[in-house]
Structure 1
Amino acid sequence: MNRIDKAAAFRSMLESPRLEFICEAHNGLSAKIVEEAGFKGIWASGLAISAQLGVRDNNEASWTQVLDVIEFMADASSLPIMLDGDTGYGNFNNVQRLVRKLEQRDIAAVCLEDKIFPKANSFIDGNRQPLADIDEFCGKIKAGKDAQFNDNFSIVARVEAFIAGWGLGEALRRAEAYHAAGSDAILIHSALRTPDEILAFKDAWGERCPVVIVPTTYYATPSEVFREHGIALVIWANPTLRASVRAMQQTARALFTSESLVAVEDSIAPVREIFRLQGAAALQEAEDRYLPKARHAPGAVVLAAARGAELGELTAKLPKTMLRIGNQPLLGHIVATFNALGINRIHVVRGYCKKAINLPGLHYVDNDRYADSGEIYSLALALACVDADTPLIVCYGDVLFKKYIVELLRDVDVPVAVAVDTNWQESVNRHRKADYARCSLPYSRSAYNREVHLLEIDPQLTADEIHGEWMGFMKISVSSLPEVRAITEQILQRDRHAKLPALLHELILRGQPVRALYTTGNWLDIDSVEDLVYAGGF
């Protein structure tokens, strides 16, 4: 990639036959804004940089702190930058070091003013401010020119004779000496409301070298006047800072008074504009190019439309998933386990007493036919709402589980997978219904390194046929989502009350491999008051 010579670009503006303009910026963001506005150069204002740091324009910000700011500006913008270098932050030695450091940061030019260090702003009792000795200031200019590496780097000498009340003769005497010392342009400054002093200087100065002006006080003068008198460069010295201060004051007052963002939201930049100016899109492109491809965290669907009538009066006014276990509802534990694995986009299908299911941060899908439908119906409603490009983990809303189970499903890269508990005898001992699984291989050490597939799910399997209990957890890959959607619709045409095992059965019949992931325990199905009591110590 070819690097732009910013110093050469600035020098061409000084020597242009046209009147050129540069605008103040005081940080990386404002530098970007100035460039996007169409300007060809930036004035790194000492006043504005000091103000945004919250200090006075009296060299209270050290020169190294100023360097830090303009380095960010140079990185944020491709425009040439001229630093308002005050008096050079010391003697000739400081100026030489400053020039070298500016060139290292790709700054195009520096403006030095002929006042005493530490400087004071020209518009605060300017006529009481002493000027530098001419010979001493010429020494700074010579030292800076000797130190520069790029021949195009510019040193602009700022003459403060008018500000100090010394008149045209002194202004010309100083300008001539600074030009002879090697300055690349003269910035002539005035505090008058009219450009009379500036124009008188330019008429007397002629074309000996480019003349730069800062019409902060005589801002009403048409730019055509400056063109007619052969001014080379106009600096808009502090308007972006002043505009931002006014906007921030108004916004802060409105927020304090109204105690609401509504009062200001329509009049401030949207957050996405800040991201754009920061170059967030470029970072995303770079991440795609340079970072290893991250596996997208799956989404989750929690089927929680049923009441849980087996729990009697406990669910008379509250669905099972909202019964408290410890310090939060059962659903809260489910969500927390998903969140612990980075799974944050969770759809919960609710039905019975749906308004009671109101945990924050979840996406709710309402099954208003919960009393006359089954699990497949609820799943179909959820599948219509989830992202098509995100894998999905489905589970029931009445289970407690350790995150290890979800990790197994999250990390496997297959079309469809289910979790199978090898400790299936526990369900028999507790005399509860269970969806028993028969698989292509029984649980054993050899099964760790081989793919095990689900062959059948049936509560009526014999003990010799059972390899485990399906735990109600299913992983559906992105590629399988369309097929699963189609199958659920076909099943519902036959039976609106169908349960999830019917979906797995149909996938197996169609020859779709369903991966079985063996685990042992680490979960609890809440089917009874006894389970609820046991859950407190899970």
Structure 2
Amino acid sequence: MSKAEMLRKLFMGKNLIRIVGAHNGLTAKLVESAGFDGIWASSLEVSASHAVPDANILTMQDYLDAAIDMNEAVSIPVVVDVDQGYGNSTNVIHMVKKFETAGIAGIIMEDKLFPKQNSLLAGGRQELATIGEFVGKIMAAKNAQESKDFMVIARIEALIAGWGQEEAMKRAKAYVNAGVDGIMIHSKKNNPDEITEFIKNFDLNVPIVVVPSTYPSFTEEKIKSFPKIRMVIYANHVIRSAVTSIKETLKEIKDAGGIDTVSRKIIPVEELFELQGTSEMKENEKKFLFKQEKITALVPAAGVIKEPSLKPLLQDTPLVMLDVNGKSILQRNVELLKSLGIKDIFVVSGPNSDKINIEGINIIQNKNFENSHILYSIMCAEEKLNGKLLLVYSDILFEKEIIEKLLKSEEDITLVIDGSFKNSKIRQSKKEEHDLVLVKAKHDPVEGERIIRPKRDNPVLKIGKKIGVEEANYEYIGLALFSEKGIEDLKKAYEEEKTTYSEGLFNEAVNFDMANLHDILMRMIQKGYKVSSMEIDKGWSEIHTFEDYKRVSRMIAD
């Protein structure tokens, strides 16, 4: 149900409608929490909150913005004090469209001339529009509205201007004939006598609205004895009480020389948080806000090119900077990682590190590149390995979806493994050259699935280049994710194995410094560490040879 429908329904009911003036979202929310039926977006309150006179100094947009703030803060109808409609009939049409579109339930428009002065201002200039001019505005407003429920109420200022009962009634009849949904009769007398006189003579079939600001003795109990009155507006008491309280608080702080005494008299900050909707915000955060962990990406790229078919292409350029259809391998991977919010990217370089000139990365040099391998390069960045780490080998390209899913892993060590290698002649030929890091995982690949497999717990049981093809069921592709704990476990294992294997063979490596990542992972598995996996089916490529380079270039071009 729209708020305009809610307001209509209130007018069709039997109970007196009580609405209270407000000037922003907070005061509107306080009115609603106090149990009133609606909000009066008072031009006096709004202008006073800007510390300017209520004299058409603020623009329509100023009042619209304030009304929107109030409307969005509450679930009850908002009725807006639109002064004279902010201009002539053309302005009124524009105004109605704007306020109705914003979800405002209704407006009350007064029959004064522009610029106005507040009706209660002592000695104020109270000039009225002609009946004909204001009737035109009413008709413009009613024709402009889209919903039949949106309400346009005419505010008669004849009694305020001292023009008497006869003029007030003449205007009421003209405005009702023009199509208004209600009449607000206004008075600045300190008693309700001229209001009650008007009501007794009022025989038109629209509801009456009263504003007892200057005649507070006209209580709801007395108002209810006049059934034609359907709405009472307590127009400006919120801002007046706010000013009163603020002045008292400031005086006490100044007189007491501090806030000790006054702090006990005002609401706790927790209540203010509730009025702001902080609890709801926190609940929404739990449901919908997924905190982005800080993730560091590490690219070990210190290897010396030994493949004869690539040497003419690279000469003194690292493999990671090999141009593939206009962009280097590293540039493509850095752009992909940054698109996923990964900004801390480190590259461990070897020879010709000055040729790695990608913006937004950090270079760490492996000065022992000639006598070391990937594991040593990883540990060259040991000081940077804090928190979650994404490890990306320097010679691979991959689809974005693989990284997106890998980043969701909650395991401590997760390797990306591909189950398609047995069906690929290219991968089989590389196996013959001992160029594949094979994996024996707990579960075999699911036949027929494509790209990224459904999530399942499939721990790695064995990993290495010397595992037989018959035993292996996956290939490790060179992508891994380590949690903060996983990185600490890797560091710990590295120090332990380094001490134990200071000389001689280490797993499949000729010595510890020449170890690959899979060498230490295999030792960790043997010691009881869990190494998890994320299964894929293709979606990546490596460049180890010139034939690889040609194939990948064709794929990217397509």
Which category of TM-score, normalised to the shorter sequence, fits these structures?
Answer: 0.5 to 0.7
8 A contact 1:23–1:42 mirrored in 2: yes
CA distance in structure 1 between the partners assigned to 2:76 and 2:32 by the alignment:
7
Aligned amino acid, residue 105 of structure 1: A
2:133 corresponding residue in structure 1: 136
1:251 corresponding residue in structure 2: 249
Is residue 431 of structure 2 the alignment partner of residue 451 of structure 1? no
> Aligned with 2:79: secondary structure?
strand
Aligned amino acid, residue 47 of structure 1: L
Normalising by structure 2, we get a TM-score of 0.56
Deviation at 1:208, TM superposition (A): 2.8
8 A contact 1:416–1:514 mirrored in 2: no
| CA 1:134–1:448: 2 relative to 1, 3 Å | farther
CA distance in structure 1 between the partners assigned to 2:515 and 2:191 by the alignment:
93
Aligned amino acid, residue 126 of structure 2: Q
Is residue 190 of structure 2 the alignment partner of residue 193 of structure 1? yes
Is residue 150 of structure 2 the alignment partner of residue 156 of structure 1? no
1:417 pairs with one of 473, 482, 488: 488
1:229 corresponding residue in structure 2: 226
Aligned amino acid, residue 106 of structure 2: A
1:92 corresponding residue in structure 2: 89
Is residue 47 of structure 2 the alignment partner of residue 50 of structure 1? yes
Aligned amino acid, residue 64 of structure 2: L
Deviation at 1:443, TM superposition (A): 5.6
CA distance in structure 2 between the partners assigned to 1:294 and 1:446 by the alignment:
30
> Aligned with 2:55: secondary structure?
coil
8 A contact 1:15–1:232 mirrored in 2: no
In the alignment, structure 1 segments of 5+ residues that lack a partner are 298-400, 425-433, 456-507, 516-538
| CA 1:171–1:261: 2 relative to 1, 3 Å | same
Deviation at 1:412, TM superposition (A): 2.0
Deviation at 1:444, TM superposition (A): 5.0
> Aligned with 2:173: secondary structure?
helix
CA distance in structure 1 between the partners assigned to 2:266 and 2:516 by the alignment:
63
8 A contact 1:112–1:158 mirrored in 2: yes
1:111 corresponding residue in structure 2: 108
8 A contact 2:387–2:487 mirrored in 1: no
> Aligned with 2:153: secondary structure?
strand
Map 1:264-303 → 2, pairs under 5 A: 264-295=262-293
| CA 1:277–1:417: 2 relative to 1, 3 Å | same
The range that moved more, 446-455 or 234-243, is 446-455
8 A contact 1:185–1:211 mirrored in 2: yes
In the alignment, structure 2 segments of 5+ residues that lack a partner are 296-380, 390-411, 413-481, 532-558
Q: Residues 64-110 of structure 1, C-alpha deviation per residue, up to 9 Å, x if partnerless?
A: 11111111111111111110000000000111111110111000111
2:217 pairs with one of 211, 217, 220: 220
* Identical-pair percentage: 37
Normalising by structure 1, we get a TM-score of 0.58
8 A contact 2:117–2:124 mirrored in 1: no
8 A contact 2:493–2:524 mirrored in 1: no
| CA 1:7–1:402: 2 relative to 1, 3 Å | same
> Aligned with 1:156: secondary structure?
strand
Deviation at 1:10, TM superposition (A): 1.0
CA distance in structure 2 between the partners assigned to 1:28 and 1:273 by the alignment:
15
CA distance in structure 2 between the partners assigned to 1:123 and 1:296 by the alignment:
60
1:307 corresponding residue in structure 2: none
8 A contact 1:160–1:188 mirrored in 2: yes
Aligned residues: 347
Map 1:98-497 → 2, pairs under 5 A: 98-125=95-122, 128-230=125-227, 231-295=229-293, 404-407=384-387, 412-414=483-485, 417=488, 420=491, 438=500, 442=512, 444=514, 446-447=516-517, 451=521
CA distance in structure 2 between the partners assigned to 1:18 and 1:408 by the alignment:
63
8 A contact 1:127–1:165 mirrored in 2: no
Aligned amino acid, residue 63 of structure 1: M
8 A contact 2:156–2:186 mirrored in 1: yes
CA distance in structure 2 between the partners assigned to 1:65 and 1:92 by the alignment:
20
Q: Residues 291-326 of structure 1, C-alpha deviation per residue, up to 9 Å, x if partnerless?
A: 3354599xxxxxxxxxxxxxxxxxxxxxxxxxxxxx
The range that moved more, 168-177 or 119-128, is 119-128
Deviation at 1:60, TM superposition (A): 1.1
2:455 corresponding residue in structure 1: none
| CA 1:249–1:181: 2 relative to 1, 3 Å | same
CA distance in structure 2 between the partners assigned to 1:49 and 1:126 by the alignment:
22
CA distance in structure 2 between the partners assigned to 1:449 and 1:132 by the alignment:
91
CA distance in structure 2 between the partners assigned to 1:47 and 1:80 by the alignment:
19
Q: Residues 258-311 of structure 1, C-alpha deviation per residue, up to 9 Å, x if partnerless?
A: 4533232222222222222222232233333333354599xxxxxxxxxxxxxx
